[in-house]
Amino acid sequence: MKQSRLFNYVEEEADSAPSEMIRPKDCCKLCGLCVGRTNLVLPSGDLRSKVVFVGEAPGETEDKLGRPFVGKSGKLLDRLMKDEGLDRSKVMITNTVKCRPPNNRAPTEEEMAACRQFLESELYEKEVIVGLGKSSCRDLLGYEGKMGDIVNKDRSIVVRDREILFIPTYHPAACIYNRDSTDALRATIRRVRDEFL
Ligand code: SF4
């Protein structure tokens, strides 16, 4: 199936979109998440950055605004990035799926598989992928275990013909009331700041 080019991002981001990047059509019905969608939630930030943070799925605020990580978790991520001197506009931020799952449940295998072609096109030219939380690690690493066993331990994944560094870490939602998870996510952010930006 031929996919549309990335013509419908917000204006300041569309110009910078890599040619590899494809986006779902606004009417995409490749999986059941289309049913409750208000807006597609597409990548934001510097679409050409070497660094991408991949979260789970849009929540209520993201669905309403059509932007990733703008709700409670996004605000915490913003604060941690600001504390650590990492400018959010210098990285790309996206999710495994582009439509909000009902009641903020995790996306299913089938939903992530349906949306993977879009995610892969977003990841293809990156040097480092930061996997935020369980769904991201399940989708991209096939990892089903405890996050605590892999956080900040380097992995790699193959996206089409490219091997790309993958750093698993906690989703900001898991950090809201947890100091240890917050410290681990801060460490990830510091490393990205120091080694890749
Ligand atoms: S989650 Fe992805 S594949 Fe499913 S309907 Fe939305 S854009 Fe299409």
- Reported as a single tens digit per residue, the pLDDT across 124-156 is 999 999 999 999 999 999 999 999 999 999 999
- pLDDT at residue 164 tops 90: yes
Q: What is the mean pLDDT of the chain?
A: 92
- pLDDT at residue 196 tops 80: yes
Residue 195 neighbours by CB distance under 10 Å: 12
Pocket of ligand 1 (CB under 6 A): 24, 28-31, 33-34, 40, 97-99, 111, 114-115
Task: Tell if the pTM clears 0.85, that is, is over it.
Answer: yes
The domain 11-196 is placed in CATH, from the list 3.30.420.10, 3.20.20.70, 3.40.470.10, 2.20.25.650, at 3.40.470.10
Q: How far is the CA of 98 from the centre of ligand 1 (A)?
A: 6
The structural domains of the chain, with segments of one domain joined by +, span 11-196
Q: 3-class DSSP state for residue 167?
A: strand
CA-derived radius of gyration, the chain: 15
Q: How far is the CA of 82 from the centre of ligand 1 (A)?
A: 31
Q: How far is the CA of 37 from the centre of ligand 1 (A)?
A: 9
Euclidean distance between CA atoms 66 and 86, whole angstroms: 23
Query: Considering the chain, what percentage of its residues have pLDDT values greater than 70?
Result: 92
Euclidean distance between CA atoms 76 and 69, whole angstroms: 9
